[in-house]
């Protein structure tokens, strides 16, 4: 069933209700441009904005955003890419949308086009909109119209989870495949610079979903002018022996190109642009920092897989850090709010007030990974829920585990191990009750 026109009409009614008696000209004038930048496989340990690990890549442009804007110390996403992108697009947890793991030929469901997407909400506003970069939400990488069916009118996408060659790959431009020869991070940035440069109407704000596929595998040698790692050997043997150097070089290259995009904007355009930078899940196991004990890398519902970087900077955003709990679903409601509309998605909490200095209202964060196909190894599927201090981890093939993240941020001591304690069991029971109520 195709319900896009109906959803857009409903989104329009929501926007009109939210706007009240404010005139259209006043509403547009007060709306910022919104640039959402998503990195692929960049965990907390890969950013100098977070004191996790000791081997972060130099990313001066991101660090400048961290100094100028708000760093979220408790932001969470799904442990793999497709579910996170589905939560961003719908404001709904995976058990509602059916997207519980990465979409591959082996398993993982695509996002239904019956969902009310973020682009459906923004269709009722005056925003120009586009998606550039990784999509990974379609049931099949050959479903070239999937973004359009979710309300995206202008897109230049990598449809699947990754590309085999960062220098030779295929993009889908508004439903049409295009063979590309050029470094992926640079080409995506070129497209973003070009698209933003075409937004010349000062009274028409814009929203750009820019999803880099870096630093996702395959690890590789980026162009030498984009990183400071020196003359890297371009061989699979060298990459296998020291993957971190190549991972960091890809991150530094991404940062360099992000800086080029921001510098391409006129001063007045940049001054009215909110930049939202986030990682979609933890760093890959091969390069994840040992502080996560290796079980907490990408794919895991432990901290190393789901606790992600989130930095927001721009007009109306205070500088500093916040302990507010944020789930990736919340970006849906928050972006809608910044654009002058509102969300009715049940799992999305608007945290735009946090940007101005207020406390967050989210009391719990929930993350999950599931699939109809059996997991390739133990410990991958399950769910977790945390409050401001404690986290309950429930794996499909193991006993529940409870951690005190205040004193044990890397989940080294399971408070339920052995006989546990009545107090620990009471905390776990309370968290499980919240999760069950949420999931029912």
What CATH number does the domain containing 309 carry?
3.40.720.10
End-to-end CA distance of the chain: 26
Same domain? 334 vs 420: no
pLDDT tens readout for residues 142-199: 999 999 999 999 999 999 999 999 999 999 999 999 999 999 999 999 999 999 999 9
Between CA 48 and CA 60 the distance in angstroms is 9
Per DSSP, the residues of 12-78 read HHHHHHHHTT--HHHHHHTPPEEEEEEESS--GGG-TTS---S-PPP-HHHHHHHHHSEEEEEEE--
Same domain? 114 vs 20: yes
Residue-range definition of the domain harbouring residue 414: 382-439
Count CA atoms within 13 Å of residue 141 on its CB side: 15
Percent of the chain with pLDDT over 90: 85
Same domain? 241 vs 196: yes
Q: Is pLDDT above 90 for 136?
A: yes
Between CA 294 and CA 283 the distance in angstroms is 10
Q: Which residues contact 429 (CB under 8 A, 6 or more apart)?
A: none
Q: Is pLDDT above 80 for 209?
A: yes
Domain endpoint, select from 363, 394, 415: 363
Tokens matching residue 26:
């006043």
Same domain? 240 vs 344: yes
Can you give 183-203 as a three-state secondary structure string?
Answer: CHHHHHHHHHHHHHHCCCCCC
Between CA 78 and CA 117 the distance in angstroms is 18
Same domain? 239 vs 388: no
Same domain? 355 vs 406: no
Q: Is residue 171, in this structure, part of any structural domain at all?
A: yes
pLDDT band at 106 (very low <50, low <70, confident <90, very high): low
pLDDT band at 104 (very low <50, low <70, confident <90, very high): confident
Between CA 154 and CA 37 the distance in angstroms is 17
Same domain? 304 vs 430: no
Same domain? 312 vs 412: no
DSSP state of 37: E
Residue 264: φ, ψ to 5°: -75, -15
Report strand pairing: 128-134 vs 206-211.
parallel
Residue 246: φ, ψ to 5°: -75, -35
Give the residue from 414, 386, 411 showing the smallest Cα distance to 400: 414
More confident residue, 16 or 114: 114
Same domain? 358 vs 387: no
Q: Is residue 246, in this structure, part of any structural domain at all?
A: yes
pLDDT band at 108 (very low <50, low <70, confident <90, very high): low
Between CA 49 and CA 71 the distance in angstroms is 8
pLDDT average, residue stretch 58-67: 97
- The per-residue pLDDT for 30 is 76
Between CA 136 and CA 247 the distance in angstroms is 21
Between CA 377 and CA 250 the distance in angstroms is 28
Q: Is pLDDT above 90 for 20?
A: no
Give the residue from 82, 81, 118, 103 showing the smallest Cα distance to 208: 118
- The per-residue pLDDT for 324 is 98
* Whether the Cβ atoms of residue 348 and residue 106 lie closer than 8 Å to each other: no
Count CA atoms within 13 Å of residue 235 on its CB side: 4
* Whether the Cβ atoms of residue 298 and residue 281 lie closer than 8 Å to each other: yes
Tokens matching residue 392:
């309950």
Q: Label residues 60-93 b or e (16+ Cβ within 10 Å = b).
A: ebbbebbeebbbbbbbbbbbbbbbbbbbbbbbbb
CB atoms within 10 A of CB 387: 17
* Whether the Cβ atoms of residue 45 and residue 247 lie closer than 8 Å to each other: no
Cα angle 63, 65, 68 (rounded to 5 degrees) comes to: 110
The model's pTM: 0.92
């Amino acid at each position: 069933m195709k319900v896009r026109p109906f959803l857009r009409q409903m989104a329009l009614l929501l926007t009109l209700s939210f706007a009240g008696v404010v005139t259209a000209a006043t509403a547009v004038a007060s709306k910022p441009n919104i640039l959402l930048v998503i990195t692929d496989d960049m965990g907390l340990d890969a950013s100098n904005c977070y004191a996790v690990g000791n081997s972060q890549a130099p990313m001066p442009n991101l660090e400048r955003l961290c100094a100028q804007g708000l760093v979220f110390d408790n932001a969470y996403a799904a442990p793999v890419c497709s579910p996170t992108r589905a939560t961003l697009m719908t404001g709904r947890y995976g058990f509602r949308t059916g997207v519980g793991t990465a979409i591959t030929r082996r398993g993982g469901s695509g996002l239904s086009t019956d969902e009310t997407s973020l682009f459906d909400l923004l269709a009722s506003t005056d925003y120009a909109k586009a998606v550039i970069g990784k999509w990974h939400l379609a049931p099949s990488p050959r479903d070239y119209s999937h973004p359009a069916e979710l309300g995206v009118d202008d897109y230049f996408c990598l449809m699947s989870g990754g590309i085999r060659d960062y220098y030779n790959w295929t993009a889908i431009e508004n439903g049409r495949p295009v063979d590309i020869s050029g470094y992926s991070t640079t080409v995506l940035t070129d497209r973003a610079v070009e698209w933003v440069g075409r937004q010349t109407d000062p009274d028409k704000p814009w929203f750009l979903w820019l999803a880099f596929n870096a630093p996702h595998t395959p690890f590789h040698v980026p162009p030498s002018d984009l990183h400071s790692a020196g003359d890297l050997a371009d061989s699979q043997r060298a990459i296998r022996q020291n993957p971190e150097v190549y991972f960091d070089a890809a991150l530094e290259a991404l940062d360099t190109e992000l800086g080029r995009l921001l510098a391409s904007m006129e001063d007045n355009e940049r001054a009215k642009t909110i930049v939202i930078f986030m990682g979609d899940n933890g760093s890959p196991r091969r390069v994840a920092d040992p502080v996560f004990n290796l079980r907490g890398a990408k794919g895991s519902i432990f901290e190393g897989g789901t606790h992600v970087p989130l930095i927001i900077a721009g007009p109306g955003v205070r500088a500093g850090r916040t302990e507010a709990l944020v789930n990736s679903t919340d970006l849906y409601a928050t972006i809608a709010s910044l654009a002058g509309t509102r969300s009715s998605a049940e799992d999305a909490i608007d945290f735009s007030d946090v940007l101005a200095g207020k406390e967050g209202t989210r009391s719990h964060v929930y993350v999950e990974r599931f699939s109809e196909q059996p997991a390739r190894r133990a410990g991958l599927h399950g769910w977790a829920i945390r409050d401001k201090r404690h986290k309950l981890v429930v794996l499909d093939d193991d006993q529940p585990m409870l951690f005190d993240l205040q004193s044990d941020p890397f989940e080294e001591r399971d408070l339920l191990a052995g006989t546990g304690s009545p107090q620990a069991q009471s905390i776990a029971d309370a968290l499980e009750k919240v999760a069950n109520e949420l999931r029912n």
